[in-house]
Amino acid sequence: MSERGTDDSKYVLVMPTRDEEKYLQAALDSIAAQTELPAELVIVNDGSKDRTGEIAEAAARKYPWIHVVHRADRGERKVGGGVVDTFYSGYEALRTTDYTFICKIDGDLTFGPAYFEELLKKFAAEPRLGGASGKVFNPVNGVLHAESLIDEMVAGLINFWRRECFEDFGGFVREVMWDGINFHRARMFGWRTASFHDEALKIVHHRLMGSSHKGILHGRMRWGRGQWFMGTHPLYVIASGIFRMRERPYVVGGLCIVAGYFRAWLQGERRYDDLRFRNELHRWQLRRLGLGFLAPK
């Protein structure tokens, strides 16, 4: 086991956390067991009220490549922009400067010991691969169920990027749906992104994707609002809502995504202010629906 391989495979991790005592130790154990260790892991404790900070500090005492940043409690878990703010607290605290890859990683994941080694091989084989992950699975009654993730998208919960690509697309937007914006902006700069079907890259997510601390339906409404912010075409969000009806919570979850989108539209909520991005997003979305003839020129 090595702390890193060649300089071309040197990677750093930033882990935003808040009230993660239930899952954090297992996530840290997964990282510490890697056959290709990170050059650095910054754990950002975002005002946790539980033992998250204590668990993080214990890991930092055990492993010299881990250190912890503590943020003041802002009163509640703030997803989207709050998560990205927390990420940047860790990003700005990085001590390593000569890394090639950077990853925002959640504190409620587990994965196999060869995860990062195998992922780095994918990047070594393809110089224009800008961002990548494995596929995500959620445990339900002891059985792993795949979370829906298109092959072109990088999993938001373990968002791994070639540094050059990350800097090209300008880093993370501080809003819900930041991970979708990343992957589309990366494509605009000529990079390829992917999530791979590979047993060594299997990620176990111990919370249901699209949920929130206020409940799964609140999370799905928020997801729809995020689609509005990103600039998603209304036909695509309707299709996505129908598709998501087959996932827990069945039917109503998909309806909440659509409702969240149209509620944000009716309330005149702000959008990601980049018309070129929105046009490219609509072209991609309408082509996926087989409606490319409706796409903006």
Contact present, 66 and 60 (Cβ < 8 Å) = yes
Lookup: tokens for 85? 């703010």
Main-chain phi, psi angles of 42, to 5 degrees: -105, 120
Identify whether 1 is part of a domain: no
How many angstroms separate the CA atoms of 276 and 283, rounded? 11
191 inside domain: yes
- Examine the domain organization and report whether 112 and 38 are in the same domain: yes
Percent of the chain beyond pLDDT 70?
A: 93
The answer on 194 and 127 residing in a single domain is yes
Residues 289, 232 within the same domain: yes
pLDDT tens-place string over residues 141-166: 889 999 989 999 999 999 999 999 99
Q: Does pLDDT of 228 surpass 50?
A: yes
Q: Is the pLDDT of residue 76 over 70?
A: no
Residue 3: per-residue pLDDT: 46
Higher pLDDT pick, 234 / 211: 234
In the numeric block, which tokens belong to residue 43? 């754990």
Digit-coded pLDDT (tens) for 179-215: 999 999 999 999 999 999 999 999 999 986 544 456 7
Alpha helices in the chain (DSSP H): 24-32, 52-62, 81-91, 115-125, 163-168, 178-188, 216-230, 234-244, 252-266, 275-288
pTM: 0.91
Are 189 and 221 in a shared domain? no
**DSSP sequence for 216-277:** HHHHHHHHHHHHHHHT--HHHHHHHHHHHTTSSSTTHHHHHHHHHHHHHHHTT------HHH
220 contacts 210 by C-beta, under 8 angstroms: yes
Q: Is residue 210 a part of any domain in this protein?
A: no
Query: What are 83-142's pLDDT values in tens digits?
Result: 999 999 999 999 999 999 999 999 999 999 999 999 999 999 999 999 999 999 999 888
State the residue for tokens 């995020």.
226
Return the CATH number at 141. Answer: 3.90.550.10
151 and 191 both lie in a single domain: yes
Residues 58 and 167 in one domain: yes
Half-sphere exposure of 76 (CA within 13 A, CB side): 7
- How many angstroms from the chain centroid is the CA of residue 167? 17
User: CB-based contacts of 292: which residues, under 8 Å, 6+ apart?
Assistant: 283, 286
Residue ending a domain, choose from 164, 181, 205: 205
Under 8 Å between Cβ of 43 and 66: yes
Tell me which of 271 and 218 has the higher pLDDT: 271
205, 230, 248: which is the final residue of a domain? 205
180 vs 197: CA distance, rounded Å: 19
Residues 288, 186: one domain? no
Position 78 scores a pLDDT of: 56
- Is 211 within a domain? no
Average pLDDT, the chain: 92
> Does residue 171 share a domain with residue 239?
no
H or E element, residue 111 = strand 109-111
Q: Please give the residue range of the domain that contains residue 113.
A: 7-205
Mean pLDDT of 20-41: 98
Q: Are 70 and 45 in contact (CB under 8 A)?
A: yes
Of 174, 205, 236, the one marking the end of a domain is 205
Residues 133 and 251 in one domain: no
Would you state the torsion angle of the CA atoms of residues 150, 156, 161, 165, taken in this order, to the nearest 10 degrees?
Answer: 80
The pLDDT score that the predictor gives to residue 5 is 45
Token pair for residue 15?
């882990």
How many angstroms from the chain centroid is the CA of residue 128? 20
Q: What is the distance between the alpha carbons of residues 101 and 229, in angstroms, rounded to a whole number? A: 28
Distance CA 104, CA 111 (A): 15
- Has residue 266 been placed in a domain? yes
pLDDT of residue 84: 94
What is the domain count for the chain? 2
Report residue 297's pLDDT band, with 50, 70 and 90 as the boundaries.
confident
Is 272 found in the same domain as 192? no
Confidence of residue 77 (pLDDT cuts 50, 70, 90): low
